């Protein structure tokens, strides 16, 4: 089975970079999963049946609790997406947080400076 997740992060204001403690990531995770359920017209009760079809045992109460808290695992999110038949998932996360790979400068044996 082939499954792809692409996460798209939009920076609203690059001059005001926020740190991780100012962003409620649990709320963002909760909204992502809830929006996929609503978009497809799937209730928590429906999700129980869909998850059971792929061998994942959950109750309506446990699903409601996980989604309400937004503290579910990445594995649970992938199980839900898979159960709903979603093979490509591109969530749009709006945040002021800007993520960038660090620039690493090092010397080689030939004494030429390389940038990675």
Number of domains in the chain: 1
Q: Which residue has the tokens 């996980």?
A: 66
HEC string for 73-113: CHHHHHHHHHHCCCCEECCEEEECCCCCCCCCEEECCCCCE
* CATH number, position 63: 1.10.260.40
Tokens of 1: 């089975």
User: Is the pLDDT at 99 greater than 70, yes or no?
Assistant: no
Residue range of the domain that includes 97: 4-115
Q: Residue 62: which of 75, 76, 74 has the closest Cα?
A: 76
Flag whether the pTM goes above 0.75.
no
Tokens of 10: 């939009």
Q: Residue 56 in contact with residue 83, Cβ under 8 Å?
A: yes
Question: Cβ contacts of residue 62 below 8 Å, gap of 6+?
Answer: none
Digit-coded pLDDT (tens) for 8-64:
444 444 444 445 557 788 888 899 999 999 999 999 999 999 999 999 999 999 999
Q: Residues 13, 16, 20, 26: what is their CA dihedral angle, to the nearest 10 degrees?
A: -40
Q: Residue 77: which of 28, 10, 41, 22 has the closest Cα?
A: 28
């Amino acid at each position: 089975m082939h499954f792809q997740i692409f996460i798209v992060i939009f920076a609203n204001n690059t001059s005001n970079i926020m740190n991780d403690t100012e962003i409620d990531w649990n709320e963002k995770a909760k909204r992502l999963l809830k929006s996929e359920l609503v978009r497809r017209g799937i209730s928590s009760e429906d999700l129980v049946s869909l998850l059971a079809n792929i061998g994942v045992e959950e109750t309506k109460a446990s699903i409601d609790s996980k989604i309400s808290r937004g503290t579910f695992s990445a594995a649970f999110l992938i199980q839900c997406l898979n159960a709903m038949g979603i093979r490509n998932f591109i969530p749009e996360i709006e945040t002021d947080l800007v993520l960038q790979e660090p620039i690493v400068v090092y010397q080689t044996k030939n004494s030429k400076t390389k940038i990675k």
